[in-house]
Amino acid sequence: MPNPPDGGFKPETFRVSPELVQVRLAAGSMAEVIDGLAGVLLAHGYVKPSYAESALEREASCPTGLPTPGLGTAIPHGGVDHALKPGIAIATLAQPVSWGQLGDPGRTVPISVVFMLSVTQPEAQVYLLQALVDVYREEASLRRLYAATRPEEIAEQVNAALQQAGASEA
C-alpha cells in the first residue's frame, strides 16, 4: 500500500490511546456501537458532536462490515468535516452485532471488532482503512486482539500493527 503522492499520511501517526478502547462493549445494534464509540471520541476531543450522526448516515449508504476470517470487523467513520484530530476508537463486542456488509448493503455480517476512525484528511482515510484491512485480514491477528482483556493490550497491539504497516511502506 503506497502512501499518497504528497507523502503526508503515515499509518503509524495514528496512535491508539487506551482511553479510546472499549473491551467487551455490550451493544445490541450497530447504532449503539457507533453512538458509544463516537461518544468516547467526543469525550476526548477527537470529534464534533455531529460525528455520530455523520457516521450513521455514511453506514446507511456505504456500510463498513467486513466478513473477515473468524471474527467480523467493521471500520465505521464519519466525514472529515466532523473530525477535530486523527484517532481510532476500538471496541471488542461482548456479543456480535449485525452490520451491513461492505460492497453489498443488502447483506449483513456479524461483527465482533470495531475500529472507528476520526480522520481529518480525506486522503488519509483510504490509506488508514487499507492498513487496518491488511493487518487484520488474518484470523490469528483478530483473535489475539479480541482475546485481550485490557484497553492497554489492545492499544499496544494496534499501535504495533500500524507501526509495522508504516515500516513496510518505506
Q: What is the pLDDT of residue 1?
A: 39
CATH number at residue 137: 3.40.930.10
Query: How many angstroms separate the CA atoms of 138 and 78, rounded?
Result: 26
Total domains in the fold of the chain: 1
Residue 149 within any structural domain of the chain: yes
**Residue bearing the bigger pLDDT, 168 or 44:** 44
Residue 150 within any structural domain of the chain: yes
| pLDDT > 90: percent of the chain | 68
Residue 6 within any structural domain of the chain: no
- Average pLDDT over every residue of 27-43: 98
Q: What is the pLDDT of residue 168?
A: 54
pLDDT tens, position by position, 64-103: 999 998 899 999 999 999 999 999 999 999 999 999 999 9
Residue 1 within any structural domain of the chain: no
For residue 78 the three cell numbers come to 464519519
Query: How many angstroms separate the CA atoms of 1 and 60, rounded?
Result: 28
Query: How many angstroms separate the CA atoms of 165 and 148, rounded?
Result: 21
Residue 97 within any structural domain of the chain: yes
Backbone torsions φ then ψ of 25, nearest 5 degrees: -60, 125
Residue 117 within any structural domain of the chain: yes
- Average pLDDT over every residue of 127-136: 81
Site of grid cell 456488509 = 101
pLDDT at 6 > cutoff 70: no
Residue 170 within any structural domain of the chain: no
Residue 8 within any structural domain of the chain: no
Cut 0.75: pTM above it: yes
Domain that holds residue 46: 13-164
DSSP character string of 41-84: HHHTTSB-TTHHHHHHHHHHHS--EE--SSSEEE--B--GGGBS
